[in-house]
Structures are given as C-alpha cells and as structure tokens.
Structure 1
Amino acid sequence: MSDLNIREDMEVISADGVHVGTVDHMDGERIKLKKSDSGHAAIEGASHAGHHHYLSVGLVAGVEGDKVRLSVASANVSEFLEEKSEA
C-alpha cells in the first residue's frame, strides 16, 4: 500500500465525502492524523478527542489529488480509529 503516495497535510475524507482529519504523517502502514484535527463530526464519537488518531492504510479506497478517500462512511469511521502506535 506504500504506493499510495500519502503525504503530510492531505485531507482525509470518508467514503461519503465527510472530512475526517488531516494527515500528520505515515507511521508504517497507518495514517497518523493531526492532533489538532481530531474533533470533527466523523470522529466525534471517539472517546479520545484531542489525541492523535491512526487509521490503517487498508481503509484507503484511493488518493485523489490532495485528498485521501476512505472506504468507510463517516458514521463508521470512529470504529476504525486507533489512539496510539503499537509497541
């Protein structure tokens, strides 16, 4: 999946076009979202707002210009969020 060319400051959007966050950087096979961009509607249900969140690149449907489009709808994004990297 590393051929996706996901870069810092790209917008991450759900399958239905809702803003999920902004890429901080890639952390292995996961996208680390900017901490300051973790309180949007798509992840409002996440119990750890205000922390860095991670999404697996396996959820990426594609990269379109400066946007990373996920394969999950905004209503389901919070189910796939991880708070920290695994040791």
Structure 2
Amino acid sequence: MEIAGSDGEHIGTVDKVENDQIKLTKTDSSDHQHHFLHFDLVDRIEDNRLYLKVTKSEALAERS
C-alpha cells in the first residue's frame, strides 16, 4: 500500500507493520534501507492509500 503525506506527496510503500511502526520497503529509499514511521502519524486510509497527518518533508524527518 502506498503511503502519502498530508500534502498528497508519495513517501513510500508499506512493507509490513511491526508493533506500532510501519516498515517501508527498501525500494523507495534512496539508501536502499528499511525505514520506519510511527503508526501515530496515520491520518486515514482511502482508495488503497495510507495518508499521514504530516507532510512528506515532515515524515522523512521523523522516520527512523
């Protein structure tokens, strides 16, 4: 499932959910590593797309 920021910009693709974090696929990462976003950032799921409460730039700054 695609992940988009509140601004509608593509952030990544869900690999899986682990505990309270969303694991992103490596293919969407410039460093080809898995990154994680906290599940609390999720705003809604609509049209097979997961939208966050924050913009793309804010999400990229928060990912681990």
- TM-score, with normalisation over the residues of structure 1? 0.69
| RMSD over equivalenced CA pairs, Å | 0.9
% identical aligned pairs: 36
Higher-strand-fraction structure: 2
Stretches (4+) displaced over 4 A: none
User: Aligned residue for 2:3?
Assistant: 12
Note if 1:80 corresponds to 2:47: no
Structure 2 residue ranges without an equivalent (≥5):
none
Superposition deviation, residue 56 in structure 1 = 0.5
Unaligned runs of 5+ in 1: 1-9, 40-48, 83-87
Q: How does 1:29-44 map to 2 (within 5 A)?
A: 29-39=20-30
TM norm structure 2:
0.92
Q: Which has the higher contact order (CA 8 A, sep 6+)?
A: 2
